[in-house]
Amino acid sequence: MDDNGAPTFEQDLIRAIFKHIWVKKAQERERNEFPNTEAVDSEVGAGTSKKNRPTSEAVQRAGTIAEAEGSTKIEPTHLERILPQLLLDF
Averaged pLDDT of the chain: 76
Q: What is the mean pLDDT of residues 41-53?
A: 55
Residue 36, pLDDT score: 57
The whole-angstrom separation of Cα 56 and Cα 63 is: 10
- Please give the residue that has the higher pLDDT: either 28 or 41: 28
Q: What is the mean pLDDT of residues 36-61?
A: 63
The whole-angstrom separation of Cα 30 and Cα 9 is: 31
Q: What is the mean pLDDT of residues 3-7?
A: 71
- Examine the pLDDT at 30 and tell me if it is beyond 70: yes
Residue 40, pLDDT score: 46
The whole-angstrom separation of Cα 59 and Cα 65 is: 10
The whole-angstrom separation of Cα 58 and Cα 8 is: 53
Q: What is the pTM of this model?
A: 0.43
